[in-house]
């Protein structure tokens, strides 16, 4: 089922004009605040009526202003996970979870409540009140509540934004499981490159109400052009498999045949993982460096050089593990005489890769 | 209790309770609807409606009673019309209930409106995305959340109805057993020599009923607030 969105909307001095298709999997609307991503997701949910537009999921039309039709939110059957959990305070967790069920059409294939509570790890919370839950628990219940309403699609508007870093790492795996264990498409709004790298099947980059890029996470994040969040968001997204857990607390991955060492991760040997490596954590060297502490060394060919307005520049290296962008100073690039087509070596410290950068 | 109060005193207490109960019960749905409209809807004439609702609070009660008499008396346009259906307000206990309801309405509506304005509309939005239509959102989310305010409004209306005097006596007079409510009875006893002991007993009853209503409403509101939880 593909979500198809075409809409224009104008408010005060902000104008939105976007068109994109979201194939099955997780489509991340990636942009800074003010880029219009929440407006887009609210238009899809029916909480906002666009000036002009056509929105459909598969062959199901949600809104077509040219025909003057726009379904109200309760007829769209899209599960919405908001930034704040928005649980009903006068109901228990279980009553919250079951809230949407009574409104779902009878022919809807109901999600199995036991399976959902197990997947989200909220089975022990069922009799509690929302006021007795932590932020992370609330958000997991909110995900379950949306899922159990038998939605055709899940919408999530920065569901991790109100959580601290540790809790973010707790919730992200649940979205990964949602992506991998259900066939419900997800539209996910985020301004975080780490979330994009971990979750996105497709990235739709938004800037000032316009779509600037559509592509895979690796494609969009490896190029600094029109990247929301600028160069700090740029980085490699490498697909790898867990090769071995070493006794000294390191995990060795196989990334396109190259070894990659990280601090120990919980995934078992053989499991596929996605690793994000921020471009500013990558060091470049001519030739293979000797006698250095960094464990990860990837050789490759320079495919692109980008100079911005500042003192830095972006060098993109094609390595056996995938595209690896490195952010270095113009001064270094000049001193090293880097040119497109040159062979070069990327050096990455093991500890520069944080748990939030590793997804399944 | 019945031998502590004389039959006429007891009659006044029972009538007042009945009048106040029905006044509150019938006013409640209108109060919720009006409060919701004033809190949430933007429509032409909203300020006018707001003014009309508050009018009984600021008009002299005698004026309200006289206006009710003009409108709902047997000669009045509304009263004459309703008489065709066998509904008569003039000089009946139902008229006392109408007067009490009208006088209590602004207090009730105000309390409910404030609680509706305090409801986080994001919760209602969330309920909508989960498939609940507007009426279902109101029944399953808004109403449970405003319950403390609804209770507070109902108790205020009930207390006002128990004490309503001016509009009642103007509209339906002071007929023992028919329209003589507690305040009217106290007033009547004070007009005759030797009636003071009766008046004092009824004053004590008024205080007990008022305090009882207050305690019950506090208890209900506390329970409701606990159910809703601290968020």
Tell me the shortest Cα–Cα distance from B28 to chain A, in angstroms: 22
Instruction: Test B128 with A88 for CB contact under 8 angstroms.
Output: no
Window from A163-177, A272-286, B69-83, B215-229 with minimum mean pLDDT: B215-229
Q: Which residue has the higher pLDDT, A158 or A167?
A: A158
Model confidence at B44, pLDDT cuts 50, 70, 90, reads: very high
More confident residue, A1 or A45: A45
Task: Give the pLDDT of residue A360.
Answer: 80
Taking residue B101's Cβ as centre, other Cβ atoms within 10 Å add up to 26
Residue of A nearest to B132 (CA): A74
For chain A, percent of residues with pLDDT exceeding 90 = 51
Instruction: Tell me if B95 is assigned to some domain.
Output: yes
- From A358, A333, A347, select the one nearest A281 (Cα to Cα): A347
How close, in Å, is residue A99 to chain B by CA atoms?
7
Q: Is A8 helix (H, G, I), strand (E, B) or coil?
A: strand
Distance CA A210, CA A36 (A): 8
Q: Is the confidence at residue B62, as pLDDT, over 50?
A: yes
Total count of domains within chain B: 1
Is residue B156 within 8 Å of B105, Cβ to Cβ?
no
d(Cα A235, Cα A21) in Å, to the nearest integer? 24
Residue B44's CB is within 10 A of a number of other CB atoms, namely 6
DSSP string, A91-121: S-HHHHHHGGGGGS-TTS-PPPHHHHHHHHT
List CB contacts (< 8 A) between A77 and chain B.
131
Domain enclosing residue B186, as ranges? 7-229
Q: Does B47 touch chain A (CB under 8 A)?
A: no
Tell me, yes or no, whether B109 lies in a domain.
Answer: yes
Q: What is the pLDDT of residues A23-34, one digit of tens each?
A: 889 999 999 888
pLDDT at A140: 92
- Which CATH number is B182's domain given? 1.10.3720.10
Q: How confident is the model at residue B19 (pLDDT cuts 50, 70, 90)?
A: very high
Tens of pLDDT along A85-117? 999 999 999 999 999 988 888 776 667 888 889
Q: Mean pLDDT for chain A?
A: 89
What number of CA atoms fall less than 13 Å from residue B168's CA on the CB side?
31
What per-residue confidence (pLDDT) applies to B84?
84
Q: What is the mean pLDDT of chain B?
A: 89
pLDDT at A109: 67
Give residue B87's pLDDT.
Answer: 84
B122 occurs within a structural domain: yes
**Could you tell me the maximum CA-CA distance found in chain B, to the nearest angstrom?**
69
Q: Which residues contact A85 (CB under 8 A, 6 or more apart)?
A: A130, A135, A138, A139, A141, A142
The pLDDT-based confidence of B231 (bands split at 50, 70, 90) is very low
Q: Edge to edge, what strands does the sheet with A358-359 contain? A: A258-263, A250-255, A235-245, A272-278, A358-359
In this prediction, residue B220 carries a pLDDT of 76
Instruction: Name the residue among A252, A217, A253 with its Cα closest to residue A235.
Output: A217
Residue B224 forms part of a structural domain? yes
Q: Which ipTM was obtained for this model? A: 0.82
Chain A residues closer than 8 Å to B122 by CB: 82, 84, 86
For chain A, give the percent of residues with pLDDT over 70: 99
Q: In which band, very low, low, confident or very high, does the pLDDT at A126 lie, cut at 50, 70 and 90? A: very high
Q: Tens digits of per-residue pLDDT, B22-40? A: 999 999 999 999 999 999 9
Residue B172 lies in a domain: yes
pLDDT digits (tens, 9 = 90+) for A132-146: 999 889 999 999 999
Of A130, A131, A149, the CB nearest to B130: A149
Helix axes A113-120 and A135-148, enclosed angle (nearest 10): 150
Nearest to B73 by CA among B162, B173, B152: B173
Q: Do residue B130 and residue A100 have CB atoms under 8 angstroms apart?
A: yes
B156 touches chain A (CB under 8 A): no
Distance, C-alpha B179 to centroid of its chain: 17
Phi, psi of A153 (to 5 degrees): -160, 150
User: Average pLDDT in the B60-79 region?
Assistant: 91
Burial class (CB in 10 A: 0-12, 13-18, 19+), A164: exposed
Under 8 Å between Cβ of A333 and A313: yes
Of the pLDDT bands very low, low, confident and very high (cuts 50, 70, 90), residue B16 is very high
What DSSP character marks residue B138? Answer: I
Q: In what order do the strands lie in the sheet containing A296-307?
A: A282-285, A343-348, A296-307, A312-319, A322-329
B2 in any annotated domain? no
Tell me the C-alpha distance between B155 and B213, whole Å: 7
Per-residue pLDDT, averaged over A171-186, amounts to 87
Q: Residue A156 phi/psi, 5° resolution?
A: -135, 120
Each residue's pLDDT tens digit, A258-295: 999 999 988 899 999 989 999 989 999 998 888 888 89
Average pLDDT estimate for B77-85: 86
For the cut 60, the answer to whether the pLDDT of residue B76 exceeds it is: yes
pLDDT number for residue B56: 93
Cβ separation B136–A82 shorter than 8 A = no
Binding-face residues of B in 103-132 toward A, CB within 8 A: 120, 122-123, 125-132
- Is residue B1 one of the residues assigned to a domain? no
- Are A158 and A83 contacting, i.e. CB atoms less than 8 angstroms apart? yes
Q: Grade residue B110 by pLDDT with cuts at 50, 70 and 90.
A: very high
């Amino acid at each position: 089922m593909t979500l198809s969105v075409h809409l224009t909307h104008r408010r005060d001095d902000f104008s939105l004009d976007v068109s994109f298709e979201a194939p099955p999997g997780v489509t991340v609307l990636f942009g800074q605040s003010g880029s219009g991503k929440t407006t887009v997701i609210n238009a899809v949910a029916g909480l906002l009526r666009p000036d002009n537009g056509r929105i459909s999921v598969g062959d199901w039309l949600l809104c077509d202003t040219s025909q003057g039709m726009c379904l109200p939110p309760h007829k769209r059957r899209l599960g919405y996970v908001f930034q704040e959990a928005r649980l009903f305070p006068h109901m228990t967790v279980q009553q919250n979870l079951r809230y949407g069920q009574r409104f779902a059409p009878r022919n809807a294939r109901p999600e199995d409540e036991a399976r959902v509570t197990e997947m989200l790890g909220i089975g022990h919370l069922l009799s509690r009140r929302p006021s007795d839950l932590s932020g992370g628990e609330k958000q997991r219940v909110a995900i379950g509540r949306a899922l159990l309403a038998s939605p055709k699609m899940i919408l999530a508007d920065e569901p991790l934004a109100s959580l601290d870093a540790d809790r973010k790492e707790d919730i992200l795996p649940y979205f990964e499981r949602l992506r991998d264990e259900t066939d419900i498409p997800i539209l996910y709004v985020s301004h975080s490159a780490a979330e994009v790298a971990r979750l996105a099947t497709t990235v739709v980059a938004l800037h000032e109400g316009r779509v600037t890029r559509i592509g895979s996470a690796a494609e969009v994040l490896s190029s600094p052009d029109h990247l929301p969040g600028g160069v700090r968001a740029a980085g490699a997204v490498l697909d790898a498999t867990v090769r071995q857990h070493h006794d000294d607390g390191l995990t060795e991955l196989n990334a396109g045949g190259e070894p990659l060492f990280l601090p120990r991760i919980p995934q078992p040997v053989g499991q596929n993982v996605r690793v994000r490596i921020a471009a500013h954590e990558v060091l470049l060297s001519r030739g293979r460096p000797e006698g250095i502490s960094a464990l990860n060394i990837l050789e490759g060919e320079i495919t692109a050089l980008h100079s911005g307005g500042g003192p830095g520049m972006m060098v993109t290296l094609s390595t056996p593990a995938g595209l690896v962008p490195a952010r270095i100073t113009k001064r270094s690039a000049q001193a090293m005489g880097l040119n497109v087509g040159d062979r070069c070596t990327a050096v990455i410290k093991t500890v520069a890769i944080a748990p939030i950068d590793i997804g399944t | 209790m019945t031998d502590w109060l004389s039959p006429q005193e007891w009659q006044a207490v029972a009538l007042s309770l009945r009048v106040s109960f029905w006044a509150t019960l019938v006013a409640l749905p209108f109060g919720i609807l009006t409060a919701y409209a004033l809190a949430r809807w933007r429509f032409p004439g909203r300020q006018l409606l707001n003014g009309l609702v508050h009018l009984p609070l600021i008009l002299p009660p005698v004026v309200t009673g006289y206006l009710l008499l003009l409108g709902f008396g047997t000669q009045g346009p509304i009263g004459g019309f309703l008489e065709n259906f066998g509904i008569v307000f003039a000089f009946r206990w139902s008229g006392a209930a109408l007067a009490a309801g009208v006088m209590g309405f602004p207090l009730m509506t105000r309390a409910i409106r404030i609680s509706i304005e305090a409801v986080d509309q994001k919760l209602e939005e969330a309920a909508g995305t989960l498939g609940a239509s507007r009426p279902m959102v109101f029944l399953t989310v808004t109403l449970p959340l405003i319950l403390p305010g609804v209770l507070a409004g109902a108790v205020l209306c009930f207390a006002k109805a128990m004490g309503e005097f001016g509009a009642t006596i103007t509209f339906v007079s002071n007929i023992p057993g028919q329209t003589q409510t507690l305040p009217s009875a106290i007033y009547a006893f004070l007009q005759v020599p030797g009636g003071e002991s009766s008046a004092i007993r009824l004053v004590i009853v008024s205080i007990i009923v008022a305090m009882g209503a207050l305690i019950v409403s506090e208890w209900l509101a506390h329970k409701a607030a606990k159910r809703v939880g601290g968020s």
